[in-house]
Amino acid sequence: MDLQLTGARVLVTGASKGIGLAITRAFRAEGAEVVASARRNTPELEATGATFVPADLATPDGPRRLVETALAADPRLDVLVNNAGGGNAPDEALRDPFGGDDEVWAATAELNLHAAVRATRAALPALVEARGAVVNISSVSARLAHTSPLPYSVAKAGLNAFSRGLAEKVAGSGVRINVVTPSGTRTDLLTGQDGYGARLAATLGVEHEELLRQLPKQTGLLTEQLIDPAEIARAVVLLASPTMPSAIGENWTVDGGTLKAA
């Protein structure tokens, strides 16, 4: 299937590894020109041939500066993928029913909600010119708030609301806003020795490998295995494609059956 993305110009945030890296690879495979952003480059990202632009999107002016840098090189922009997210709350936040103090809440919101709002705001004029698309990466935690630290779940729920609301407001300009919602995905966040999964295992007093073995079934993944980031990337590329003009304000779950609502 020709997704009509050859030559399209795409900006992907949080692109150095995990889902963002998979998204970058998927767009490159479709013949798109990708500007990939993260705080640091990686050999894996460099190998994709994407143009790397360093940025810290957790800062108030980071998203705007990123978009301005990307557009200074070429004013075209067909697709924006707001993938940057996560966070690094202190270990004590994992034991706190609130998920951390005000500082943790603010930092989590900056990266998981405000960065997407700011990047989209900065990119919107170029996207209107291209009649382009925005795809935001959410999390099943937005609808199953008990499955992750509360600040993260709330920020992702806010991202969902922002995405749907903005989709309504800008659809007349030809810009489509959509969301992809993954469940547990095989990324360094869960599998890395310094990631959230390892820290959660230590907090629970279980071996990291045992946590990873049990996690898919305990979180309702009917496949009983973590999701391949490439699956998330395929959903993103399809939603971004101009061959899907009626996909507006959608939230596509790629969750292995985690969410049980009909």
For residues 37 and 40, give the distance between their C-alpha atoms in angstroms, rounded to a whole number: 8
Residue type, 155: A
Per DSSP, the three-state class of 177 is: strand
Cα separations in angstroms, 220 against 140, 228, 236 = 11, 16, 23
What is the sign of the dihedral through the CA atoms of 48, 50, 54 and 59?
negative
Q: With beta carbons less than 8 A apart as the criterion, state whether 233 and 134 touch.
A: no
Annotated catalytic residue, options 27, 52, 105, 152: 152
With b for 16 or more beta-carbon neighbours within 10 A and e for fewer, the 153-184 pattern comes to bbbbbbbbebbbebbeebeeeebbbbbbbbbb
Catalytic-residue membership of 196? no
For residues 67 and 193, give the distance between their C-alpha atoms in angstroms, rounded to a whole number: 32
Angle at 140 between CA 135 and CA 141, to 5 degrees: 115
With b for 16 or more beta-carbon neighbours within 10 A and e for fewer, the 135-151 pattern comes to bbbbbbbbbbeebbbbb
Per DSSP, the three-state class of 86 is: coil
What is the chain's length? 262
The secondary structure element, H or E, covering residue 157 is: helix 150-170
Report the catalytic residues.
152
